[in-house]
C-alpha cells in the first residue's frame, strides 16, 4: 500500500471521483442539449413574447459545456482537492503520516498529482460527452482547436489545484481551504476587465475552449499559459516549504 494508492482509494471509496466525473458528464450532456433546444425552450415559456434565438452552431454545444464546467466543475474539483490536500484537518491522522514521511514533498506529491489527474480526467470525460452529443445534435467540432482548448482548460484546473495546495498548507479545515481558494481564483479574475492585463492572467485560460472552437487563435493564450505554469510552480514551492515547517 503506497501513498499513491491511498489517494486513489480516497477518490474511489469516498465517491469523490464519481461526484467529480458525474458533474462534468452531466454538464457535458446538458450543454449541447441546452444549446440545441434553447430556442424551443424559450419560445415555450415566452408566452406572447416572441423570442428570436440564432440557430445554434456546433461551437455553442461546447461553449455551454465549457461555461458550466469552469464554474460548477471547478467548484467540485477544488472541494475534492481540498479534501486530499488539507493534510492536517485531522491531526491524529496527519501524525501517522507526517511522523513516517521524512519530506513534505513526498507526502504532498501523490495528493497533488492524483487530485490534478482526477480533475483533468473528469473534465476530459465531460468534454468527450459534450463533443459526442454536439456532433449528434449540432454537427462536428474541429478536433484540433477542441484539444487545444481542453489543454488550456486542464492547465487552469491544475493551477487551481496548486492554489488549493498552497492554501491548505496553512489551513486545518477542508471548507476553509476550498473557500479561500475559490475566493482567490475569483479575485484573480477581476483584472481581466483590463484586456492588456487579462491576457497574462491564468483566468484568461477559462475562456480558451469556447474561443478556440469558434476559430480563435492559440497564440492569444500562450502568455497566460506561461504565467500559469510559472505561478503554479511557485505555489507548489510555497506549499512544500510551508508544509515542511508546519507543526502538528
Partner 1 sequence: MIRTRGLVKRYGPIAALDGVDLDVPPGIVYGLIGPNGAGKTTLLSLLAGLRRPTAGDIVIDRGARAVLPDTPRFDPWLTAAEVVSLAARLAGPGAREDLNAVLAEAGLAEAARRRVGGFSRGMLQRLGLAATVVGRPEILLLDEPAAALDPGGRREVLDLIRRLRGRATVVFSSHILADVQEVSDWVGILDQGRLRFQGPVDELLVARSRPTYRVRVHSGRDGVAAGLRQTSWVENVEVLDDQTLRVRVNSSEDAERGLMGVLDRSGARVAAVEPEALDLEDIFLEATR
Question: CB neighbours of 153 closer than 8 A, spacing ≥ 6?
Answer: 66, 69, 70, 123, 127, 205, 206, 208, 209
Taking the C-alpha atoms of residue 39 and residue 54, their distance in angstroms, rounded to an integer, is 8
Contact window for partner 1 (CB under 8 A) among 8-16, 55-63, 135-143, 203-211: 8-16
- Binding partner 1 by CB under 8 A: which of 51, 95, 175, 222? 95
Asked if 13 touches partner 1 (CB under 8 A), the answer is: yes
In terms of CB distance, is 97 or 199 closer to partner 1?
97
- Part in contact with partner 1 (CB under 8 A); list of ranges 3-11, 41-49, 110-118, 195-203: 3-11
Q: Which of residues 1, 49, 52, 193 is near partner 1 by CB under 8 A?
A: 1
Residue 55 or 100: the one with the smaller Cβ distance to partner 1 is 100
Give the one residue of 6, 38, 113, 179 binding partner 1; rule: CB under 8 A: 6
Q: Which is nearer to partner 1, 9 or 175 (CB)?
A: 9
Enter the C-alpha cell of residue 5: 494508492
Cell numbers of 57, please? 452552431
Shortest Cβ 9–partner 1 spacing (Å): 7
CA distances from 194 to 87, 199, 218 (A): 37, 9, 20
Task: Return d(Cα 80, Cα 122) in angstroms, integer.
Answer: 12
Q: How many CA atoms lie within 13 A of 164 on its CB side?
A: 33
Quick check: 101 binds partner 1 (CB under 8 A)? Answer: yes
Cα–Cα nearest to 77, from 2, 177, 169: 177
Indicate the residue among 108 and 185 with the shorter CB distance to partner 1. Answer: 108
235 grid coordinates? 505555489
Counting contacts by CB under 8 A, is residue 55 touching partner 1?
no
- The smaller minimum CB distance to partner 1, of residues 44 and 102, is found at 102
223: which 3 cell numbers? 502568455
CA–CA–CA angle 217, 207, 117 (5° rounding): 105
How many residues bind partner 1, per CB under 8 A? 22
Instruction: Work out whether 71 is an interface residue with partner 1 (CB under 8 A).
Output: no
The residues binding partner 1 (CB under 8 A) are 1-3, 6, 9-10, 13-14, 90-93, 95-101, 245, 247-248
Amino acid at each position: 500500500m503506497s501513498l499513491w494508492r491511498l489517494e486513489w482509494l480516497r477518490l474511489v471509496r469516498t465517491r469523490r471521483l464519481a461526484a467529480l466525473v458525474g458533474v462534468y458528464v452531466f454538464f457535458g450532456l446538458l450543454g449541447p442539449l441546452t444549446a440545441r433546444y434553447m430556442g424551443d425552450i424559450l419560445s415555450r415559456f415566452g408566452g406572447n413574447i416572441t423570442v428570436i434565438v440564432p440557430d445554434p452552431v456546433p461551437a455553442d454545444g461546447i461553449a455551454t459545456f465549457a461555461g458550466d464546467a469552469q464554474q460548477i466543475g471547478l467548484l467540485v474539483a477544488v472541494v475534492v482537492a481540498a479534501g486530499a490536500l488539507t493534510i492536517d484537518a485531522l491531526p491524529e491522522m496527519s501524525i501517522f503520516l507526517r511522523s513516517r514521511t521524512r519530506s513534505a514533498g513526498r507526502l504532498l506529491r501523490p495528493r497533488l498529482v492524483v487530485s490534478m489527474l482526477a480533475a483533468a480526467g473528469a473534465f476530459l470525460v465531460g468534454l468527450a460527452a459534450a463533443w459526442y452529443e454536439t456532433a449528434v445534435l449540432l454537427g462536428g467540432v474541429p478536433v484540433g482547436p477542441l484539444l487545444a482548448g481542453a489543454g488550456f482548460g486542464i492547465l487552469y484546473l491544475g493551477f487551481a489545484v496548486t492554489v488549493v495546495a498552497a492554501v491548505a498548507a496553512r489551513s486545518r479545515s477542508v471548507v476553509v481551504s476550498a473557500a479561500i481558494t475559490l475566493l482567490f481564483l475569483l479575485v484573480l479574475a477581476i483584472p481581466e476587465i483590463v484586456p492588456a492585463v487579462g491576457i497574462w492572467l491564468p483566468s484568461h485560460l477559462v475562456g480558451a475552449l469556447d474561443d478556440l472552437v469558434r476559430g480563435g487563435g492559440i497564440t492569444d493564450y500562450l502568455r497566460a499559459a506561461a504565467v500559469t505554469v510559472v505561478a503554479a510552480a511557485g505555489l507548489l514551492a510555497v506549499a512544500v516549504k510551508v508544509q515542511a515547517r508546519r507543526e502538528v
